[in-house]
Amino acid sequence: MERINFWLNVFFATLFAAFFLFAWSSALKEGETCVNDKSCDSGLQCETCTENVTVPPRCIRIRPHNPLHKVSGLPFNRYSWLTTHNSFARMAHKSDTGAVLLAPMNQQDSVTVQLENGVRGLMLDMYDFEDDIWLCHSFHGRCFNYTAFQPAINVLKEVQAFLEANPTDIVTIIIEDYVTSQSGLTRIFKASGLGKFWFPVSRMPSNGTNWPTVDSMIEDNQRLVVFTTKSSKEASEGIAYVWRYFVENQYGSDGMKNGSCPNRAESASMNTSSRSLVLLNHFPDTPDLTEACKHNSAPLITMMNTCHDAAGKRWPNFISVDFYKRSDGEGPPAAVDFANGQLVCGCNNINSCRPKMTFGDCNTLEGSPAPAPTIEASTSTTTAAGRGFKRSFADSGSGQRLQFGWLMGTGLIIFSSSITGFITI
Ligand SMILES: *[C@@H]1O[C@H](CO)[C@@H](O)[C@H](O)[C@H]1NC(C)=O
Ligand SMILES: *[C@@H]1O[C@H](CO)[C@@H](O)[C@H](O)[C@H]1NC(C)=O
Ligand SMILES: *[C@@H]1O[C@H](CO)[C@@H](O)[C@H](O)[C@H]1NC(C)=O
Ligand SMILES: *[C@@H]1O[C@H](CO)[C@@H](O)[C@H](O)[C@H]1NC(C)=O
Ligand SMILES: *[C@@H]1O[C@H](CO)[C@@H](O)[C@H](O)[C@H]1NC(C)=O
């Protein structure tokens, strides 16, 4: 009996160690060379920014840090949120009409997955279609079977489920609004169950003053902030007219020209202080999955700096991109972490912010965890890519050695403790 116990212990100790070896080696850390998304830790994705086969893919971070988990209690306009441009236009999506979609695709995953990955701003194009309101990518304000993705209510229900399951999260929807049917938007928001989370226009500051605090929004369960591009709907349906509250730079390729940050035509100029929210668009006219990796890396950080200067030294509250998961490792999540660091506590990374700290008193923690973007130095694409590349190799080499040593240690400890257990029994 005791012999069996001993061998059982040895067996389980070995099994346990083997399990750890497997689990550990299959969850690669940020910056390590990888073969596919599954080999990376959660919140990471295996990416490469170049078609150069000698440059191996690395695990890169796809989720920004939740700033509310670091410091809560500030006005809504003191935070920055990862935002997806045309959030609904998902690759490989087939039109719910059954038609083959001939519309551009801007994102890789569903709105539910986007929300799970920390996306908190959704840009949705809505059209009257088929006696309903559809998410559509179209022209001349009309939707067609081959440009229609799905009824908007489906995606609103995804947002509803997320807000229901995450009672301390706030989501913003910006509607590119082609809906002319009477109270059409009101109807689908109500039908989706999102009505109860509605943040009312009456609480939005229209003169550039601070928004209510995130805490009060959460406490009052007013955690859905919705904007429309149709000004009349603010009075008729209580949906905020986006450019009464936002300044926003030029979207598309014209907005990606290095060194300048013009406002989009409908927006007041970037430095207008009577708008308390700043939105940064950074995506080309035609979505491009391959190029997005580059666009979402150093040039995004550079444009964020350029727009900061243009916007009267204000960091963006919303950073809007295509294919938000694509970057060389210092992409949209790093940009959002940086903007949050600046907005929340005056530091280069939200990780440096602590409750009740003095604004700008960053010294000790600054830049210690891996991905703090070296913003000053990242104006050139090649420098940033080169830096990331070198770091990946440095990290993966020593990382693997460290892991191995750690594992041997763990295995031995488990093994010896099971022997000890056997002896004392
Ligand atoms: C591929 O990347 C390696 C390492 O950075 C570099 O030495 C090589 O010149 C690159 N090849 C091409 C074709 O760009
Ligand atoms: C468009 O899709 C609807 C179903 O949503 C279908 O009834 C209709 O026949 C389609 N029209 C064309 C021209 O394919
Ligand atoms: C700005 O608007 C708020 C209400 O939205 C009001 O309480 C405040 O007095 C206004 N401030 C200025 C300077 O007009
Ligand atoms: C972008 O502009 C900055 C200065 O605003 C400059 O330092 C940098 O080299 C430019 N990058 C490219 C790729 O042109
Ligand atoms: C604001 O920006 C515009 C350009 O968009 C510029 O003409 C104007 O001088 C700026 N105002 C201030 C106060 O900086």
Tens of pLDDT, residue by residue over 266-308, are: 999 999 999 999 999 999 999 999 999 999 999 999 999 999 9
Per-residue pLDDT band at 422 (split at 50, 70, 90): very low
pLDDT score of 413 more than 60: no
Q: Which residues line ligand 4 (CB under 6 A)?
A: 258-259, 302, 379-381
Q: What is the mean pLDDT of residues 353-378?
A: 64
The per-residue pLDDT for 55 is: 82
Residues 51 and 84 in one domain: no
Per-residue pLDDT band at 3 (split at 50, 70, 90): low
DSSP state at residue 323: S
Q: Please report which ligand is nearest the Cα atom of 392.
A: 1
Kindly report, residue by residue over 71-87, the tens digit of the pLDDT.
999 999 999 999 999 99
Domain count along the chain: 2
55 CA to middle of ligand 1, Å?
7
Beta strand pairing call for 148-151 and 171-178? unpaired
Beta strand pairing call for 119-129 and 132-136? antiparallel
Specify if 412 maps to a domain: yes
Residues 88 and 219 in one domain: yes
Residues 37 and 109 in one domain: no
CA–CA dist 48, 32 (Å, integer)? 12
pLDDT score of 361 more than 70: yes
Q: Please report which ligand is nearest the Cα atom of 56.
A: 1
Q: Please report which ligand is nearest the Cα atom of 244.
A: 3
Specify if 39 maps to a domain: yes
The per-residue pLDDT for 4 is: 53
Per-residue pLDDT band at 156 (split at 50, 70, 90): very high
Residue nearest (by alpha carbon) to ligand 4 atom 9:
380
pLDDT score of 415 more than 90: no
Q: Is 358 in the pocket of ligand 1 (CB under 6 A)?
A: no
Specify if 300 maps to a domain: yes
Residues 79 and 216 in one domain: yes
Specify if 382 maps to a domain: no
| Position with higher pLDDT, 16 vs 284 | 284
Residues 351 and 299 in one domain: yes
pLDDT score of 349 more than 60: yes
The per-residue pLDDT for 10 is: 52
Per-residue pLDDT band at 369 (split at 50, 70, 90): very low
Q: Is 260 in the pocket of ligand 5 (CB under 6 A)?
A: no
pLDDT score of 25 more than 60: no
Specify if 94 maps to a domain: yes
Residues 38 and 75 in one domain: no
Residues 87 and 185 in one domain: yes
Q: Determine the residue of 271, 274, 275 to mutate for testing ligand 5's pocket, defined as the one with the most ligand atoms within 8 A of the Cβ atom.
A: 271
pLDDT score of 23 more than 90: no
Q: Please report which ligand is nearest the Cα atom of 143.
A: 2
Per-residue pLDDT band at 11 (split at 50, 70, 90): low
Q: Is 209 in the pocket of ligand 3 (CB under 6 A)?
A: yes
Atom of ligand 5 nearest to the CA of 271: 1
Residue nearest (by alpha carbon) to ligand 5 atom 7:
269
Q: Helices 2-26 and 381-424 sit at what angle, rounded to 10 degrees?
A: 170
Q: Determine the residue of 144, 145, 147 to mutate for testing ligand 2's pocket, defined as the one with the most ligand atoms within 8 A of the Cβ atom.
A: 145
Specify if 101 maps to a domain: yes
Residue nearest (by alpha carbon) to ligand 1 atom 5:
55
Specify if 328 maps to a domain: yes
Residue nearest (by alpha carbon) to ligand 1 atom 6:
54
For the purposes of burial, counting CB atoms within 10 Å of the CB of 407, is it exposed (0-12), middle (13-18) or buried (19 or more)?
A: middle
For the domain that residue 336 is a member of, what is the CATH number? 3.20.20.190
Residues 322 and 420 in one domain: no
Q: Is 130 in the pocket of ligand 2 (CB under 6 A)?
A: yes
Residues 177 and 78 in one domain: yes
Specify if 294 maps to a domain: yes
Residues 201 and 306 in one domain: yes
Q: What is the mean pLDDT of residues 336-355?
A: 97
Per-residue pLDDT band at 405 (split at 50, 70, 90): very low
CA–CA dist 328, 280 (Å, integer)? 20
Alpha carbon dihedral 63, 335, 79, 356, in 10-degree steps, equals 90
Query: Rounded to two decimals, what is the model's pTM?
Result: 0.81
Closest CA to 160 of 131, 130, 196, 129: 196
Mean pLDDT, all residues of the chain: 84
333-to-28, 77, 119, 124, 362 alpha-carbon distances in Å: 18, 18, 9, 21, 20
Q: Determine the residue of 269, 278, 309, 313 to mutate for testing ligand 5's pocket, defined as the one with the most ligand atoms within 8 A of the Cβ atom.
A: 269
Residues 274 and 259 in one domain: yes
Instruction: Provide the residue range defining the domain that includes 113.
Output: 62-369
Q: What is the mean pLDDT of residues 228-255?
A: 98
* Lowest-pLDDT choice from 18-27, 93-102, 177-186, 305-314: 18-27
The per-residue pLDDT for 13 is: 53
Residues 229 and 124 in one domain: yes
209 CA to middle of ligand 3, Å?
7
307 CA to middle of ligand 4, Å?
14
Q: Which two tokens stand for residue 288?
A: 């491009």
Per-residue pLDDT band at 54 (split at 50, 70, 90): confident
Q: Is 66 in the pocket of ligand 2 (CB under 6 A)?
A: no
408 CA to middle of ligand 2, Å?
63
